[in-house]
Amino acid sequence: MDNRAEVKAFLTSRRARITPEQAGLVSFSRNRRVPGLRRSEVADLAGVSVEYYAQLERGNLAGVSGSVLDALARALQLDEAEQAHLADLARAAGPAGRGRRKPAAGQIRPSVARLLELMTAIPALVNNGRGDVLAANPLARALYAPMFDDPARPANHARFAFLNPLARDFWVDWERIAADTVSMMRTEAGRDPYDRDLTDLVGELCTRSEDFRTRWAAHDVRLHRTGVKQFRHPVVGEITLSYEAMPLTADPGLTLIALSAPAGSADDDALRLLASWAAPVSPRPGR
């Protein structure tokens, strides 16, 4: 991906969403030709010259200091995910960031596989930054059955969400899932703009899905740490689960996702029912 184009689009989109009132500018012209803040206003808020900010917004973040990035983050009111994304874009613009990052492992280590195997009461799976599922325990395969039933391999959250018509029924709040999925992919693209597989996946989704293309153009980013997912499962019906995303520090780029429900809740009962449905049938004695 073109780093300069990414920087330009990201900064421009962040500037356009902030009104002068939100930025605390009391005296400003009502006759404005641009949405959001002007470049000069962002420059003033960040404490840099208009010429320098214009250079940054044209996509040149090479050599920008951390203090300037922090000032830009304050001026543009960036959240934690957006600040990290801006730092990733700046890192990729420098000499050290122009080489390809070591690709994430294509398979999980035996100890991680064993961990998934032992997590029998909750769904657990391992994803890479593109949303490919590298491994999943039986309960996770049962929970995400429509995604795993799709013949495309590797199973991928984004491809399922945007290209499989079953996804809109499977996810209770498909709009939120779609927005979160694209935002996480955009975050990953900032971390590693030279990931060819990610670039190919984005190209495929932009070509085949207008919904994806529109969301990708928004340049929104998001950190995937914890939250709630609502499923409409074909066997157990609606079920709401909390998730925790735990990066595998020994395997950069891989994340273990574990889902659970409060003990004794209806969702916990549904999860137990799903576990019994997914359990392999033992052969009868003598057979």
Q: List, in order of start, the domains of the chain with CATH numbers.
A: 3-97 (1.10.260.40), 110-278 (3.30.450.180)
CA distance 92 to 251: 21
pLDDT 10s digits, 49-94: 999 999 999 999 999 999 999 999 999 999 999 999 999 999 998 8
- The number of beta carbons lying within 10 Å of the beta carbon of residue 202 is 22
pTM to 2 decimal places: 0.89
CA distance 31 to 183: 33
Per-residue model confidence (pLDDT) at position 177: 97
Q: Read off the pLDDT of each residue in 15-41 and give the average, rounded to a whole number.
A: 82
pLDDT 10s digits, 220-244: 999 989 999 999 999 999 999 999 9
Per-residue model confidence (pLDDT) at position 102: 63
CA nearest neighbour of 92 among 189, 199, 197? 189
- Does pLDDT of 274 surpass 50? yes
Sign of CA pseudo-dihedral 228, 229, 230, 234:
negative
How many residues does this entry show for the chain?
287
What is 7-40 written as a DSSP string?
Answer: HHHHHHHHHHT--TTTTT--S--S--SSSS--HH
Peptide bond into 138 cis (omega under 30): no
